[in-house]
Structure 1
Amino acid sequence: MRSRRLGLLLVAAVLLPWQELKDFVGLQHRARQSGIPRNAGLTLRYFDARGAAETVRLLFAAAGKEYKDLRYPISFGTPGDFSTIIRKEFEEDRDAGKMDISMGKVPVLDVDGFSLPQSKAIERYLARELGMMGSTPMEEALVDAMAEHVRDINDAYSRKGLFFMKDQEKKAELQKKWYEEELPLLLSKLETALPGSDGFAVGEKVSLADIAIFKLLKDTYDADVSAAYGECPKLKAIVSKVEKNKGIQTWLSERPETMI
Structure 2
Amino acid sequence: MSSYEAVLPALSSAVASGAAAILLKHSTRGIKPILVNYIKAAAGSLTLGLIVLVFAWSELVSISLNDLILVAFIGLTGPFIAWFLYIKALSIGDISLVHPIVNTYSLSAMLFNFILLKSPIKIEHVAGALFVVIGIRLLAEKGKRGKFLAPMLLALAVSLIWGLNTVLFKIALARSGPLVLSFLRVFFAFIFMTPAALGQLSGVSIKLKYVGSASLAGLVSDFIGVFLWLLSLKLGEVSVAATISASSPIFSAMFSWSIFGEKISRRRALGIILTVAGICVVSAT
Q: Scaled by the length of structure 2, what TM-score is found?
A: 0.28
Using CA pairs below 8 Å that are at least 6 residues apart, which structure has the higher relative contact order? 2
Task: Point out the structure with the larger strand share.
Answer: 1
Of the two, which has the highest radius of gyration? 1
